[in-house]
């Protein structure tokens, strides 16, 4: 096959799925300039810089780049494959590939692209010193020369003008360029992890009667875990109600953790198959608000999110107790930061592991099964089904394929006749039952999601 035609086919194979994954952007596709098979982007995807090409695809950046080459020439600094494989810190690579860190990955890649064509002949020579160039990210790089070597920052261009096309040029570089903001995000994540593994030293005393600190807490290093147990920070008693109605002027309270909770719920919705969980957190209960508050106060959380299929199996009996939705969800929140890897390592090492949950005093059991992590007991168990849906250092969301109940409450198997089989309702069953209950107590005025 003609290499250019092959390139085009390859390009569309990659572009089309990523475009359809972003439906809000497809509307502009008709007005977009046609991508030329001779484009530097097609050449990149077809080149020997396969690691970079793969990352660009994973970062869902193709459409952005396609639009960029429609407007102007570009210069791509392509790290050689080894720089993204063996030579890259595996922890950093994992960080970049976590779905919750998509923004960091995009920032990193855009930092390798200039919105203009700089061929090797346009390079500043040694006498003229270094020259600043804007990148596609809101940041700049320095180009310079050292005798015959051309440099970007301190990285050497080992294949200048490796690929040239009418709309741009690709230079091979010997290593990955890491913009400061991404390095900082990564460091913050790593510090959080190591700090949360260390007990706070000289922790202030907690008054056992009031459960408050006896003395004002000494300033703790940023990112250190709070001193009081999470249970003391939780809102008193669950209530079946959505987030408090906005005050005068519709003002919502704002806090840092709110952003992270929003992010994870957005990720959950985007991921697909977890709409009920998202709906419960946001619309049915005030749990999203509560989680945001806890995270702002420095607590970390791992959410075991049952998927929609699992939620659909809940029976009306399991849901109709007052506060049942909150209790069910609280049992799925672990007041620790755990990832698939950390949980899998623990169950591999210890066999059975018990995690605290926000539903005191109940713990959830985890063990290894079939090369994965299985939670709960034989009757009501769930597998870790979609690992690391969201992980940002404070909140971790792990998809599971069942709804868990504390052991002593494992629902006894009902006679089949007692379980009404419902075809999948428009909204989740939890919503349906909750709406009925709220309607019965005349609370539906604030609860616009019940129709
Ligand atoms: C890219 O540069 C070439 C000349 O180097 C120019 O002819 C072409 O119009 C430029 N493309 C865009 C989209 O500006
Ligand atoms: C909350 O309810 C609204 C209105 O029904 C809906 O559009 C939205 O998607 C729901 N939120 C979540 C997170 O499911």
State the pLDDT confidence band at 418, using cuts at 50, 70 and 90. very low
The segment with the largest mean pLDDT, out of 79-83, 151-155, 419-423, is 79-83
Mutate to test the pocket of ligand 2, among 266, 275, 276, 279 (most ligand atoms within 8 A of CB): 279
The pLDDT tens digits of the residues spanning 194-221 come to 544 433 333 444 555 545 444 433 333 4
Tell me which ligand sits closest to the C-alpha of residue 71. 1
pLDDT of 96 higher than 80: yes
The pLDDT tens digits of the residues spanning 356-385 come to 899 988 999 999 988 889 999 867 899 999
pLDDT of 417 higher than 60: no
Mutate to test the pocket of ligand 1, among 73, 115, 121 (most ligand atoms within 8 A of CB): 73
Fold of 40-187: FAS1 domain (2.30.180)
From ligand 2's centre to the CA of 111, what distance in Å?
36
From ligand 2's centre to the CA of 287, what distance in Å?
14
pLDDT (mean) for 378-402 = 89
More confident residue, 298 or 397: 397
The yes-or-no answer to whether 40-187 and 230-243+252-407 have a common fold is yes
Cα torsion through 193, 199, 205, 210, rounded to 10: 50
Asked if residue 167 has its Cβ within 6 Å of ligand 1, the reply is yes
pLDDT of 24 higher than 80: no
Asked if residue 278 has its Cβ within 6 Å of ligand 2, the reply is yes
- Considering the domain delimited by 230-243+252-407, tell me its CATH architecture: Roll (2.30)
State the pLDDT confidence band at 126, using cuts at 50, 70 and 90. confident
Which residue has the CA at smallest separation from atom 14 of ligand 1? 72
Mutate to test the pocket of ligand 1, among 166, 168, 169 (most ligand atoms within 8 A of CB): 166
Asked if residue 142 has its Cβ within 6 Å of ligand 1, the reply is no
pLDDT (mean) for 349-356 = 84
State the pLDDT confidence band at 310, using cuts at 50, 70 and 90. very high
Tell me which ligand sits closest to the C-alpha of residue 35. 1
pLDDT (mean) for 387-393 = 88
CB neighbours of 196 closer than 8 A, spacing ≥ 6?
225, 300, 337
From ligand 2's centre to the CA of 283, what distance in Å?
6
Asked if residue 116 has its Cβ within 6 Å of ligand 1, the reply is no
Mutate to test the pocket of ligand 2, among 264, 282, 425, 451 (most ligand atoms within 8 A of CB): 282
- Chain centroid, CA 124 distance in Å: 40
State the pLDDT confidence band at 226, using cuts at 50, 70 and 90. low
From ligand 1's centre to the CA of 392, what distance in Å?
41
CB neighbours of 360 closer than 8 A, spacing ≥ 6?
231
Distance from C-alpha of 220 to C-alpha of 207, rounded to nearest angstrom: 19
pLDDT (mean) for 309-326 = 83
**What's the confidence (pLDDT) of residue 243?**
41
pLDDT of 257 higher than 60: yes
Convert the chain into a string of H (helix), E (strand) and C (coil). CCHHHHHHHHHHHHHHHHHHCCHHHHHHHHHCCCCCCCCHHHHHHCCCCHHHHHHHHHCCCHHHHHHHHHHCCEEEEEECHHHHCCCCCHHHHHHHHCHHHHHHHHHHHHCCEECCCCCHHHCCCCCCCCEEEECCCCCEEEEEEECCEEEECCEEEEEEEEEEECCEEEEEECCCCCCHHHHHHHHHHHHHHHHHCCCCCCCCCEECCCCEECCCCCCCCCCCCCCCCHHHHCCCCCCCCCCCCCCHHHCCCCCHHHHHHHHHHHHHHHHCCCHHHHHHHHHHCCHHHHHHHHHHCCCCEEEEEECHHHHHCCCHHHHCCCCHHHHHHHCCEECCCCCHHHHHHHHHHHCEEEEECCCCCCEEEEEEECCEEEEECCCCEEEEEEEEEEECCCEEEEEECCCCCCHHHCCCCCCHHHCCCCCCCCCCHHHHHHHHHHHHCCCHHHCCCCC
Half-sphere exposure of residue 183: CA atoms within 13 angstroms, side-chain side: 6
pLDDT (mean) for 108-117 = 96
From ligand 2's centre to the CA of 427, what distance in Å?
10
Percent of the chain having pLDDT more than 90?
33
State the pLDDT confidence band at 225, using cuts at 50, 70 and 90. low
Mutate to test the pocket of ligand 1, among 65, 161, 167 (most ligand atoms within 8 A of CB): 167
pTM of the model: 0.45
From ligand 2's centre to the CA of 236, what distance in Å?
26
From ligand 2's centre to the CA of 279, what distance in Å?
6
State the pLDDT confidence band at 422, using cuts at 50, 70 and 90. very low
Range from 198-202, 237-241, 312-316, 346-350 carrying the lowest mean pLDDT: 198-202
Asked if residue 308 has its Cβ within 6 Å of ligand 2, the reply is no
Distance from C-alpha of 327 to C-alpha of 194, rounded to nearest angstrom: 31
* 167 Cα nearest atom in ligand 1: 1
Parse the chain into domains and list their residue ranges.
40-187, 230-243+252-407
Distance from C-alpha of 405 to C-alpha of 363, rounded to nearest angstrom: 10
**What's the confidence (pLDDT) of residue 107?**
94
Asked if residue 265 has its Cβ within 6 Å of ligand 2, the reply is yes
Asked if residue 75 has its Cβ within 6 Å of ligand 1, the reply is no
More confident residue, 155 or 284: 155
The pLDDT tens digits of the residues spanning 28-41 come to 444 444 567 788 99
From ligand 1's centre to the CA of 167, what distance in Å?
6
Which residue has the CA at smallest separation from atom 9 of ligand 2? 279
Which residue has the CA at smallest separation from atom 5 of ligand 2? 449
Percent of the chain having pLDDT more than 70?
69
Which residue has the CA at smallest separation from atom 8 of ligand 1? 167
């Amino acid at each position: 096959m003609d290499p250019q035609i092959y390139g085009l086919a390859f390009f569309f194979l990659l572009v089309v799925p990523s475009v359809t994954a972003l439906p809000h952007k497809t509307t502009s596709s008709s007005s977009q300039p046609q991508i030329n098979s001779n484009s530097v982007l097609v050449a990149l995807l077809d080149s020997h810089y396969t690691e970079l090409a793969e990352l660009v695809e994973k970062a869902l950046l193709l459409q952005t780049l396609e639009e960029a080459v429609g407007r102007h020439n570009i210069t791509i600094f392509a790290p050689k494959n080894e720089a993204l494989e063996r030579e890259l810190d595996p922890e950093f690579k994992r960080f970049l590939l976590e779905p919750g860190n998509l923004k960091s990955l995009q920032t990193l890649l855009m930092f390798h692209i200039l919105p203009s064509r700089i061929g090797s002949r346009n390079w500043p020579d040694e006498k003229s010193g270094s020259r600043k160039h804007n990148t596609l990210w809101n940041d700049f790089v320095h180009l310079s020369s050292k005798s015959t070597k051309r440099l970007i920052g301190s990285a050497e261009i080992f294949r200048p003008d490796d690929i040239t096309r009418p709309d741009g040029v690709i230079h091979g570089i010997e290593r990955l360029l890491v913009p400061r903001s991404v390095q900082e995000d990564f460091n913050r994540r790593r510090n959080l992890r190591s700090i949360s593994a260390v007990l706070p030293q000289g922790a202030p005393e907690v008054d056992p009667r009031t459960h408050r600190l006896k003395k004002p807490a000494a300033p703790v290093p940023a990112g250190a875990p709070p001193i009081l147990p999470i249970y003391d920070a939780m809102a008193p008693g669950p209530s079946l109600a959505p987030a408090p109605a906005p005050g005068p002027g519709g003002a919502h309270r704002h806090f840092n953790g709110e952003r992270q909770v929003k992010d994870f719920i957005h990720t959950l919705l985007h991921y697909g198959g977890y709409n009920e969980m998202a709906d419960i957190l946001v619309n049915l209960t005030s749990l999203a608000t509560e989680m945001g508050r806890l995270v702002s106060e420095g607590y970390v959380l791992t959410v075991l999110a049952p998927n929609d299929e699992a939620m659909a199996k809940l029976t009306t009996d399991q849901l109709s107790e007052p506060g049942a939705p909150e209790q069910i969800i609280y049992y799925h929140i672990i007041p620790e930061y755990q990832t698939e890897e950390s949980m899998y390592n623990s169950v591999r090492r210890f066999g059975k592991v018990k995690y605290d949950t926000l539903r005191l005093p109940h713990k959830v059991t985890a063990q290894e099964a079939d090369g994965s992590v299985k939670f709960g007991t034989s009757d009501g168990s769930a597998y870790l089904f979609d690992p690391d849906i969201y992980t940002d250092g404070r909140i971790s969301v792990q998809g599971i394929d069942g709804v868990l109940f504390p052991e002593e409450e494992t629902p006894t198997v009902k006679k089949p006749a007692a379980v009404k089989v419902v075809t999948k309702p428009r909204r989740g069953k939890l919503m349906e039952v909750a709406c009925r209950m709220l309607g019965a107590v005349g609370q539906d005025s604030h609860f616009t999601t019940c129709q």
